[in-house]
C-alpha cells in the first residue's frame, strides 16, 4: 500500500459520498472526523431514487465511472448476508409516444458499449420481469437492462457508519453547519456554526447541493444545475415488481419491506419553494404520483403515501461529476455529482485514494473542478 500523505482528514457532509470516503480513509489508516449539520443522510441521500445504472447516453468516462460504481455494489452484495435494501433485478425504461422517443437510439448506444440490454415489445416484457402493466408501454417498445438494480441509501449509510465507528471515526452532528478553514491559501480544517474548530491535513466537502456556493466562498467556480427533487415512499404493498421502472410520466422502484419509491420531474416542478428555504407540496402532486405509479403496475394497486422528502438534488452545471482537489486551494477536495447512489461506493474509494496518497487517479481525469475555470477563460 502507498504511504499516506495525509494522517488526519475532516469531511463535511454525512451523505453517501462523505460516509463512503470516510470509511475508505479509515481502512487506509487515516484518522477521520465527519461533520454533519444534523442526522446523517438528512440531505439528498435520504431522498434519492437510488437506481444503480449506466443506462441511456452519456460520455464514455462517465459511463466507465458508473460501471465501476456498479461493480463495487456487486462486490458488496456478494459479501452481505440477505439484505432487502440492495437488489440487482434489472431496470425497465420506455419513452413517450412522440418525437422525443429515443428508445431505439438508446438501445443501439447501449449495445455499442456492451451494456446488457434487451429491446422488447409490450408482449415480451412479462416474460423477463414481473409486475408491470404492459399495456402502458408505448409502441416503440422498452429497454430492459438485466444488470441494473437499486439500493436504499439510508440503509447503506447505516452499514458504513457501523464500520466507521468500529474503526475509530469521529462523527459530529450537534454543532451546526460547518465551513472549510483556509489559511495561507491552503485548507487546514473546518469550523462549525457553534465555533468549534477541527484541524486537518485535508478537507473533503461533500455537502451535496451546497458544494458550489461553499467552493465559491473560497474563490473557486463550480457550475451548478441543481433542481428541486421530490421522492415519495409508499406504505407496504403486496406486489411482484422487482425492476426499477423509468417511464414518461413517473419512475418507480421497489424498496425494503414491500414499499415503493416514486418520483417524476413534473412533480418536482410543482413543489413550492419559500424564501426561508422551506418547501410545500400540494396534495394533488402526491395524488398524481401515486396514480401515475399505479397505472404502470400490474393490477393497478392502491398506493398510499407513507412519507415524502423534498429538497435540492445535486447536479453540476454540465451534468458531469465534480471530483477532486480545488486547483488553487491545496488540501481542499470536493465531491459533487448527480447519481450519488450509483457512484457512492466508487467515489468514496477514489476520493480516499487521492486524499491519502496525494496522487490523481486517471479515472477522474475529466471530472476535475478546474474544468470550470478553463471554460471561463
Structural domains of the chain, ranges and CATH numbers in brackets: 8-46+154-224+317-376 (3.50.50.60), 91-146+227-312 (3.30.9.10)
171: left (phi over 0), alpha (psi -120 to 50) or beta: beta
* CA-based torsion, 87, 42, 221, 215: positive or negative: negative
pLDDT at residue 45, rounded to an integer: 79
Residue of 244, 258, 255, 257 lying closest to 296 (CA atoms): 244
CA–CA separation, 361 vs 349, rounded Å? 11
CA–CA separation, 341 vs 234, rounded Å? 20
Mind giving me the DSSP string for 278-292? -EE--HHHHHHHHHH
Low-confidence ranges of the chain (pLDDT < 50): 377
Judge whether 43 and 13 are in contact, CB under 8 Å.
yes
pLDDT at residue 374, rounded to an integer: 59
pLDDT at residue 377, rounded to an integer: 42
Using one digit for the tens of pLDDT, what is the confidence trace for 292-308? 999 999 999 999 999 99
Judge whether 173 and 38 are in contact, CB under 8 Å.
yes
pTM: 0.95
pLDDT at residue 264, rounded to an integer: 97
Using one digit for the tens of pLDDT, what is the confidence trace for 39-66? 887 887 788 899 999 999 999 999 999 9
Amino acid at each position: 500500500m502507498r504511504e499516506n500523505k495525509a494522517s488526519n482528514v475532516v469531511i463535511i457532509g454525512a451523505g453517501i459520498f462523505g460516509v463512503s470516503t470516510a470509511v475508505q480513509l479509515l481502512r487506509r489508516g487515516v484518522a477521520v472526523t465527519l461533520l454533519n449539520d444534523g442526522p446523517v443522510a438528512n440531505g439528498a441521500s435520504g431522498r434519492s431514487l437510488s437506481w444503480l445504472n449506466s443506462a441511456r447516453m452519456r460520455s464514455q468516462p462517465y459511463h466507465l465511472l458508473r460501471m465501476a460504481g456498479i461493480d463495487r455494489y456487486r462486490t458488496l452484495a456478494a459479501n452481505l448476508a440477505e439484505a432487502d435494501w440492495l437488489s440487482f433485478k434489472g431496470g425497465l425504461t420506455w419513452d413517450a409516444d412522440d418525437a422525443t422517443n429515443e428508445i431505439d437510439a438508446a438501445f443501439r448506444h447501449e449495445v455499442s458499449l456492451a451494456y446488457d440490454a434487451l429491446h422488447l415489445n409490450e408482449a415480451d416484457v412479462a416474460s423477463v420481469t414481473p409486475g408491470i402493466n404492459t399495456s402502458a408501454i408505448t409502441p416503440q417498445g422498452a429497454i430492459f437492462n438485466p444488470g441494473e438494480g437499486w439500493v436504499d441509501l439510508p440503509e447503506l449509510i447505516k452499514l458504513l457508519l457501523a464500520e466507521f465507528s468500529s474503526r475509530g471515526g469521529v462523527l459530529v452532528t450537534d454543532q451546526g453547519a460547518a465551513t472549510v478553514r483556509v489559511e495561507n491559501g491552503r485548507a487546514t480544517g473546518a469550523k462549525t456554526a457553534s465555533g468549534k474548530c477541527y484541524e486537518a491535513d485535508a478537507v473533503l466537502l461533500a455537502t451535496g447541493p451546497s458544494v458550489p456556493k461553499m467552493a465559491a466562498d473560497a474563490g473557486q467556480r463550480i457550475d451548478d444545475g441543481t433542481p428541486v427533487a421530490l421522492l415519495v415512499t409508499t406504505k407496504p404493498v403486496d406486489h411482484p415488481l422487482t425492476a426499477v421502472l423509468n417511464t414518461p410520466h413517473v419512475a418507480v422502484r421497489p424498496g425494503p419491506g414491500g414499499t415503493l419509491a416514486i418520483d417524476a420531474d413534473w412533480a418536482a416542478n410543482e413543489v413550492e419553494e419559500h424564501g426561508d428555504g422551506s418547501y410545500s407540496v400540494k396534495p394533488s402532486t402526491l395524488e398524481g404520483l401515486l396514480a401515475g405509479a399505479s397505472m404502470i403496475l400490474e393490477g393497478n394497486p392502491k398506493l398510499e403515501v407513507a412519507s415524502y422528502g423534498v429538497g435540492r438534488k445535486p447536479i453540476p452545471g454540465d451534468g458531469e461529476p465534480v471530483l477532486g482537489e480545488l486547483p488553487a486551494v491545496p488540501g481542499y477536495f470536493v465531491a459533487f455529482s448527480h447519481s450519488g447512489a450509483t457512484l457512492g461506493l466508487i467515489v468514496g474509494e477514489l476520493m480516499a485514494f487521492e486524499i491519502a496518497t496525494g496522487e490523481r487517479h486517471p479515472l477522474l481525469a475529466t471530472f476535475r473542478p478546474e474544468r470550470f475555470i478553463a471554460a471561463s477563460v
